Amino acid sequence: MKPLFLALAAAALAGPALAQQVLPAQSEIAFVSRQMGVPVEGKFKQWTAQIAFDPKNAAAGKVGFTIQTGSASFGSPETDAEVPKAPWFNVAKFPTASFASSAIKPLGGGRFEVAGTLSIKGSSQPVVVPVTVTQAGATSTATGSFTIKRLDFKIGEGEWTDTSMVANDVTVKFKLALSGMAPL
């Protein structure tokens, strides 16, 4: 009985852990690449997020994502059939991509910098993601975008390393609608 009491007392002293629920119907993780100079947009249809964040104590927050790479869609059946193959996401070997935060820095006015590690196709790179949070009623919305170099993550191997066909820069954009966040 004593260990249980001590654990409960420690949890009470540490304060509440604020975990947010993602509202999937209002959320999206998308990306934009350029093929022969023309922007090509896509999105991931399957992903999960683990977010524990209090805007008043941003440094203690944690953000994590797991993306099913096989759910990438450009809206074209031909392109969508190629994306899971080995030169691109190699879904058979690497079915997921992930992001795990290591630090969250408040910038003021609902803006934050989230530093962490992005892992795709067996490669991991540090990234800093600018995030803006707005609130309307009980819903908080986190938005942002950042650019990665696809070749750093071995996305587009073999003949696809030629960046004159498919640009190396890929912009990742997100909009996350959340419930359960404390006021800004």
Q: What is the pLDDT of residues 123-133, one digit of tens each?
A: 999 999 999 99
Q: At residue 95, does pLDDT exceed 90?
A: yes
Question: Which pair of structure tokens corresponds to residue 117?
Answer: 């590690």
* Sequence-distant (≥ 6) Cβ neighbours of residue 35 within 8 angstroms: 165, 166, 167
CA–CA gap between residue 152 and residue 31 (Å, rounded): 16
pLDDT at residue 23, as a whole number: 95
Computed over every residue of the chain, the mean pLDDT equals 90
Q: What is the pLDDT of residues 168-179, one digit of tens each?
A: 999 999 999 999
pLDDT at residue 131, as a whole number: 97
Q: What is the pLDDT of residues 52-66, one digit of tens each?
A: 999 999 999 999 999
Residue 117's Cβ-side half-sphere holds a number of Cα atoms within 13 Å equal to 6
CA angle 39, 171, 85 (to 5 degrees): 80
Residue with tokens 């999206």: 28
pLDDT at residue 18, as a whole number: 57
Q: Domain 17-179: give its CATH superfamily.
A: Lipid/polyisoprenoid-binding, YceI-like (2.40.128.110)
Residues 142 and 176 sit within 8 Å (Cβ to Cβ):
yes
Residues 101 and 140 sit within 8 Å (Cβ to Cβ):
no
Residues 145 and 17 sit within 8 Å (Cβ to Cβ):
no
Residue 85: strand pairing partners:
none
Residue with tokens 């007392």: 9
Residue 14: strand pairing partners:
none
pTM tops 0.85: yes
Domain segments of the chain as ranges: 17-179
| Residue 144: closest CA among 157, 129, 163 | 129
pLDDT at residue 82, as a whole number: 95
Q: What is the pLDDT of residues 7-56, one digit of tens each?
A: 333 333 333 345 899 999 999 999 999 999 999 999 999 999 999 999 99
First to last CA, the chain: 39
